[in-house]
């Protein structure tokens, strides 16, 4: 099997139709096929072999789509790096993945060139924006070594395809190994359960990082003949302008984007009539926000729940179900929907026994798109992937009619703006400050970001460090999206019976009166 062959077929079906649009750059299906073949053959000509890892570090751009299909064609392992990561994390990802080559944009040049090590070649995508005299190999030069003839290296469905990086149990990054079979199952699920992004005539707008959930449907889109419009970076005005100008029919946003859209002045005067599907995911959405979304955009809003360990959506609340919920079933507004297509879901107790409806337990998932291991992490693999099921670490309950309700997380993970932030990582940075005696970091409800990082701090006697000083202290040591948004000072932190800081007790007052412990 080779996933790149789907692009070859689409180039034969719709050669002159637009496949990818990013700013002024347009790739027809024929052009996308040609460039992906050139890149795939160039990588193989440089000595890379199927299974070798190729990383990317860049803001959204069309070349990332080209690279995705080139890696499919060549049977290479795709290792997309979150463009928001700091230099130390980029270096960790490249070493952890064993990357043989890194594609990067000029905006990330300093971090990329500092992170690459012997055995990993750096290739710049936009050399015209690169400062300084020293210049690595360019993307255009790399393509010159390639050929346009179709490339389709034979791979097994069980061969690793993509390393999906997510925070680990200690705050460090780990990677779910998505196989070629997982990716094909993801494509099939999207085609069968929701074709709003994967058929001729569809104009899909990817407005978040295409290395994450917003780009998960690109394979299905190319397979089905849709056009993908890629926003280089999130901007509320640009998002609305693109919908109007390009007559966008479908898009995917995270709750933080929804909050900004709903607060945008003049949104009611925009012509968004071309939209037939607005999907929300990446983090939980409050019922009130869903009501406002339906009021603003009409009965085209849907939401879903998924994770990197499942490759694609686990459960989805359709636009029809959501519209019905607004009118007649308010409880359903807190649901993330029913199991998607061929996915199996269960709610189990600590012993793995399935629980009856409305009892809270851990959500476990099974399906052909579900991952079976973490990259080079046997202990974490054994903990998460058991007896064919993915143990999500999320606490949930299921209604009698199969609707799923996520109510809390076993893991102390904060989801802010669709990104995972681990509490202990922020705490470690704060403990570096000489005035901090004790600290507990928790996620608190936030209207814009869903959840925000809050630090509850005990200061050393005789010190008077301020909240702003601690926030800036963290900003110098962490990626900026991980720094606390607020700091509270207390005389002492609650502890449990084992003498450890009771994070749940610290977190609880901030969520008082909130129906769910996620936002």
Q: Is the domain covering 1-13+25-155 a CATH 3.40.50.12780 domain?
A: yes
Q: What is the pLDDT of residues 43-102, one digit of tens each?
A: 999 999 999 999 999 999 999 999 999 999 999 999 999 898 888 889 999 999 999 999
CA distances from 232 to 24, 122, 208, 215, 397 (A): 11, 22, 8, 13, 38
Q: What is the pLDDT of residues 95-140, one digit of tens each?
A: 999 999 999 999 999 999 999 999 999 999 999 999 876 789 999 9
- Give the pairing type, strands 344-348 and 404-409: unpaired
Q: Cα(first)–Cα(last) distance of the chain, in Å?
A: 41
pTM for the whole structure: 0.83
Burial call 72-82: b when 16+ CB within 10 Å, e when fewer: bbbbbbbbbbb
Q: What is the pLDDT of residue 1?
A: 76
* Assigned CATH topology for domain 414-511: GMP Synthetase; Chain A, domain 3 (3.30.300)
Strands (E), 209-366: 227-230, 250-253, 277-280, 301-306, 313-317, 338-339, 344-348, 361-366
Return the half-sphere exposure (C-beta side, CA atoms, 13 A cut-off) of residue 293: 28
- Please, are residues 308 and 281 in contact by the beta-carbon 8 Å criterion? no
Query: Angle formed by the axes of helices 5-13 and 29-45, to 10°?
Result: 150
| Closest CA relative to residue 407, chosen from 362, 365, 356, 446 | 362
Residue 92's contacts (CB-CB under 8 Å, 6 or more residues apart) are 172, 173
Phi-psi region of 247 (alpha: psi -120 to 50; beta: other; left: phi over 0): left
CA distances from 371 to 48, 332, 347, 390 (A): 25, 29, 19, 8
Q: What is the pLDDT of residues 227-280, one digit of tens each?
A: 999 999 999 999 999 999 999 999 999 888 888 898 898 899 999 999 999 999
- Please, are residues 95 and 116 in contact by the beta-carbon 8 Å criterion? no
Q: Taking residues 147-157, what's their average pLDDT?
A: 96
Question: Alpha-carbon distance 433 to 473, whole Å?
Answer: 8
The C-alpha angle with vertex 338 and arms to 333 and 402, in degrees rounded to 5, equals 95
Q: Do domains 1-13+25-155 and 414-511 have the same CATH topology?
A: no
| Closest CA relative to residue 249, chosen from 194, 306, 312 | 194
Domain ranges in the chain?
1-13+25-155, 414-511
| Closest CA relative to residue 364, chosen from 345, 350, 385, 349 | 345
Q: What is the pLDDT of residue 483?
A: 94
């Amino acid at each position: 099997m080779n996933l790149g062959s789907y692009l070859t077929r689409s180039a034969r079906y719709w050669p002159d139709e637009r496949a990818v649009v990013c700013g002024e750059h347009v790739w027809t299906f024929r052009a996308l096929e040609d460039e992906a073949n050139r890149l795939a053959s160039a990588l193989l000509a440089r000595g890379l072999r199927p299974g070798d890892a190729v990383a990317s570090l860049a803001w959204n751009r069309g070349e990332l789509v080209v690279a995705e299909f080139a890696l499919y064609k060549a049977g290479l392992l795709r290792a997309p790096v979150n463009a928001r990561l700091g230099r130390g994390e980029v270096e960790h990802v490249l070493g952890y993945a064993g990357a043989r080559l890194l594609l990067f944009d000029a905006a990330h040049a300093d971090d990329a060139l500092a992170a690459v090590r012997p055995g990993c070649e750096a290739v710049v995508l936009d050399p015209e924006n690169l400062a300084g005299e020293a210049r690595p190999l360019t993307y255009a030069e790399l393509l010159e070594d390639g050929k346009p003839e179709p490339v389709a290296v034979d791979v097994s469905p069980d061969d690793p395809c993509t390393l999906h990086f997510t925070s680990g149990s200690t705050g460090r990054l780990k990677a779910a190994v998505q196989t070629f079979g997982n990716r094909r199952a993801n494509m099939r699920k999207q085609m069968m359960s929701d074709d709003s992004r994967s058929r001729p005539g569809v104009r899909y707008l990817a407005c978040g990082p295409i290395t994450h959930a917003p780009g998960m449907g690109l394979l299905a889109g190319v397979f089905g003949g849709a056009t993908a419009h890629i926003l280089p970076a999130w901007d509320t005005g640009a998002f609305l302008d693109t919908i109007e100008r390009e007559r966008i029919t479908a898009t995917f946003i995270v709750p933080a984007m929804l909050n900004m859209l709903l607060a945008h002045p003049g949104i009611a005067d925009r012509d968004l009539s071309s939209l037939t599907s607005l999907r929300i995911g990446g983090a939980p959405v409050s019922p009130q926000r869903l009501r406002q979304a339906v009021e603003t955009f009409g009965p085209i809003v849907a939401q879903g729940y998924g994770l990197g360990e499942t490759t694609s959506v686990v459960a989805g609340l359709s636009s029809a179900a959501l519209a019905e919920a607004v009118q007649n079933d308010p409880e359903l507004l807190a649901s993330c929907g029913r199991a998607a297509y061929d996915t199996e879901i269960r709610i189990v107790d600590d012993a793995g026994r399935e629980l009856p409806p409305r009892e809270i337990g851990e959500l476990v998932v099974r399906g052909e798109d579900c991952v079976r291991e973490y990259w080079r992490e046997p202990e974490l693999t054994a903990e998460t992937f058991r007896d064919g099921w993915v143990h999500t670490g999320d606490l949930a309950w299921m209604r009698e009619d199969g609707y799923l309700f996520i109510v809390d997380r076993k893991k102390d993970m904060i989801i802010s703006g669709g990104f995972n932030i681990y509490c202990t990582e922020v705490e470690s940075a704060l403990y570096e400050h000489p005035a901090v005696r004790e600290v507990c970091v928790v996620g608190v409800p936030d209207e814009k970001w869903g959840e925000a990082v809050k630090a509850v701090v005990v200061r050393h006697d005789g010190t008077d460090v301020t909240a702003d000083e601690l926030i800036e202290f963290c900003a110098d040591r962490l990626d900026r999206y991980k720094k606390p948004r607020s700091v509270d000072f207390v005389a002492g932190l609650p502890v449990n019976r084992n003498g450890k800081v009771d994070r749940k007790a610290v977190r609880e007052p901030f969520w008082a009166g909130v129906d769910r412990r996620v936002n």
